[in-house]
Amino acid sequence: MANNWTCILIDLDGTIADSAPGITTSLAFMFEEMGYPVPSQEELVAYVGPPMLDSFRDRAGFTSVESAQALSIYRRHYIDGNNAHGSDIFPGMAEVLRTLHASGIPLSLATSKPEFPASVILDHANLTQYFRVLSGASIDEIRSAKKDIVAEALTRLTMIGADVSNPVMIGDRDYDIKGAAEHDIPTIYVDWGYGNPGESEGSLAVVSTAEELLPLLLPH
């Protein structure tokens, strides 16, 4: 694999941060608040990664009105409860980000989480400094599909003068692979995240530890 990446796009939930506990806690609160049975923990984890409104529609079967109400309850609980602060960083990922930043390759976050809670997680872990660009969902979720997040990341990287001629994506769900592929960008899949068996299909490579990423990302 030729390591001549000009910029690197990185997912957050399940790739950098183990944010599922905070997300599932707020989801459980939302279901209870709306008078629905709380799904199992396994079912709740499946909500982590895709745009939340899509999951409310496709998984919970909510109407558009219910989805908007659910999103409001979920977000309020997630932010007010400081659930973003409780996200642990996966072993080795802080060092990977530090090393990539030191190499001079521009990094962009590319997450379907809205940018404010995403920045809270990175700030709390002292990782924001390693990113040139933070691209996430818009607060109204109009920009939430991964292909749109990737497009925004590339636009912002271009605006700061970064070379976007040969980008690579790093993520833990098939949404990352498919969203990046919409822009002809290959994805390195990390298997410590929230993906199910088979979700790595179509990826450029699969890694099981953070340390395995650097040889695939750094030029040599």
Average pLDDT value for residue range 52-79: 94
pLDDT band at residue 1, thresholds of 50, 70 and 90? low
Distance from C-alpha of 73 to C-alpha of 69, rounded to nearest angstrom:
6
Concatenated DSSP letters of 18-44: E-HHHHHHHHHHHHHHTT-PPPPHHHH
Asked whether residue 2 carries a pLDDT value surpassing 70, the answer given is no
Extents of the domains making up the chain: 7-18+87-217, 20-83
pLDDT band at residue 166, thresholds of 50, 70 and 90? very high
Q: How many residues does the chain have?
A: 220
Average pLDDT value for residue range 187-215: 96
Average pLDDT value for residue range 26-47: 96
Place of tokens 């009105």: 65
Asked whether residue 142 carries a pLDDT value surpassing 70, the answer given is yes
Contact 134, 108 (CB under 8 A): yes
Asked whether residue 148 carries a pLDDT value surpassing 90, the answer given is yes
How far is C-alpha 151 from the geometric centre of its chain's CA atoms?
14
Top CATH class of 20-83 equals mainly alpha
Average pLDDT value for residue range 95-103: 97
For residue 7, the one-letter residue type is C
Asked whether residue 119 carries a pLDDT value surpassing 60, the answer given is yes
Contact 39, 133 (CB under 8 A): no
Tokens of 199: 């979700």
Domain at 7-18+87-217: CATH code: 3.40.50.1000
Distance from C-alpha of 114 to C-alpha of 180, rounded to nearest angstrom:
18
Average pLDDT, the chain: 94
